[in-house]
Structure 1
Amino acid sequence: MEFKILGPLEVSHNGHLCTPRAPKVKQVLALLLLRANQVVSLDSFIEELWGEKSPQTAVTTTQTYIYHLRKALIRANDKNQTEEKIRTAAPGYILRAEEENLDIKRFDSFIARAQSSMAVGEFGRASQYASQALALWRGAPLAGVDCGNILRGYTVNLEERHIAALELRVRAEMELGNYREMIADLRSLVTVHPLNEWLHAQLIIALNKSGRRSEALHAYQTVRDLLRRELGLEPSLELWRLHQEILAASSRSHPAHGPVPSSHGLVPSAPRRSPAHRASVPAL
């Protein structure tokens, strides 16, 4: 039996979908899957399902949801497989799932391999593993599931892990020197994640390294205008330095014209900015 949470919640067996339909049962299953192979307490189920407004019947109602979920999984499973996926384990319940049967566990495994490959300079292998991890995503995690406080926290965490995986693949491809090949992907990524300055920086670098200097400068102007408009901030120090390096390289390639002075005849100062930045930008 296969479980998927990196997108709409899905349960399948031998290629046939058998996802529970009842909203509360799906909510219970989602929490069990996110804590697969760990005991989920009754208190956690009650917090997820009702928050601070739990009814007096919360315990028995939760047990009823577990009962219906167990029946659904047993009914979907092969008749000759009698092992229950969900077991009672004080102070709650546990769902057993192997790595190959749960997409989030496969995702984590691929990312761990990608990170190990990056650490030893095997960038091609790192990109391959990161791509395999990203291929498991089918949309917003737990799409279609009514999420309470606990599941909402998990979905935020999953979205951040997805972004980290995207950045990991980008880093690997940039280390391989695949600047031109990454431009289209990076344009798409900064559209989906417009406030991610690190991704904008990689797009600027990729354009510049591909000989598209004017487009790189335009990309910087775009993110600067966006940050000013949306957040009232100047670009990070790393982005500003990247912009200055491209301008300096442009001046060196056209020495006859000399540098373009500012309105006061001085090089513009670095923008004032909060010290929190996503990541350092590779040197040109």
Structure 2
Amino acid sequence: MDIDVLGALDVRENGISITPTAAKPRQVLALLALHADQTVPVAALIEELWGERPPRSARTTLQTYILQLRALIATALAGDGSDTSRTAKDVLVTLPGGYLLCGGGGKSDVREFERLSGLGYRAVDAGDHPGGARLLREALGLWSGPAFADVQGGVQLDMEIRRLEETRLCALDQRIEADLRLGRHREVLAELTVLVSRYRTHENLHGQFMLALHRSGRRGEALDVYQRLRTTLVRELGIEPSAALRRLQRSILMTGPERPLETTETPKRRLVPVG
């Protein structure tokens, strides 16, 4: 089974899609696919579908959705014709308290993203910035859009979407950091312009943007980025920029446009909302 969730939901058995078009069965498959080879409790699926006030018929209705998914799986299995002993119940398994979608060793874009980004982090930590940048760029290339872009998420999926987005941001942050250390400041300017507009309180992205602008001979614009971020942080969150970001601003103020900053590090990330 091949599973893609970093963009539109696409789950394939034997190369045949088993992704339903109806919204609620799609939610069920999305949660099962994200946790492939793990038991997803019935309670989590019910909360995903109906929130805190499920109908009395919730379990029965959930069982109906499971049957619909198994019908799609059975069609996909029949289309292969090579293993008549494997049934839909072997792929979508009923277990005490929940259900398990058997990945069968197939591809998963989430798992591949986690593998590549983990290798990228280790490469960067070891000082291999070219290798780290390449691995992280490959990991980020697996994203074709927001996670579960075509699924109407409930409580459980919304939480997972936020978690996945955070992992993507961390990989993006580290890849840009590696690129800056490799002197690719001009190459990342356009990307950072978009990112700081989207993540208006993300300090590390703003620090990277400031550094890239300054190294590109755009010192005034780098200082403007700091002032806009400070205004946003004070107005929306009631906090000042971090000490590391303030040091970066002072370094830019004290360094003439003809001289590059000696430091190659952007401020360490401070966890604030990324609205």
Q: TM-score range by the shorter chain?
A: 0.7 to 0.9
Which secondary structure state, in structure 2, belongs to the residue aligned with residue 141 of structure 1? coil
Whether 1:115 aligns to 2:121 is yes
Write the letter of the residue equivalent to 1:277: R
Structural mapping, 1:22-171, within 5 Å: 22-77=22-77, 78-82=80-84, 83=86, 84-97=90-103, 101-171=107-177
Larger-gyration structure (1/2)? 1
Whether 1:277 aligns to 2:270 is yes
Structure-1 separation of matches of 2:128 and 2:34? 31
Deviation by residue 1:172-223 (Cα, 9 ceiling, x = unmatched): 1122222222222211211221211110001111122233222222222332
- What is the root-mean-square deviation in Å for CA atoms of aligned residues? 2.5
Structure-1 separation of matches of 2:258 and 2:109? 51
- What is the aligned partner in structure 2 of residue 192 from structure 1? 198
Write the letter of the residue equivalent to 2:250: Q
Structure-2 separation of matches of 1:223 and 1:51? 36
Could you tell me the percent identity over the aligned residues?
39
- What is the aligned partner in structure 1 of residue 264 from structure 2? none
Structure-2 separation of matches of 1:103 and 1:251? 43
Deviation at 1:155, TM superposition (A): 1.1
Write the letter of the residue equivalent to 2:270: H
Structure-2 separation of matches of 1:53 and 1:251? 61
Structure-1 separation of matches of 2:180 and 2:43? 47
Deviation at 1:277, TM superposition (A): 2.6
Deviation at 1:35, TM superposition (A): 1.4
Counterpart contact for 1:99–1:105, Cα < 8 Å: no
Write the letter of the residue equivalent to 1:121: G
Which secondary structure state, in structure 1, belongs to the residue aligned with residue 256 of structure 2? helix
Structure-1 separation of matches of 2:193 and 2:258? 28
* TM-score between the two structures when normalised by the length of structure 1: 0.81
* TM-score between the two structures when normalised by the length of structure 2: 0.84
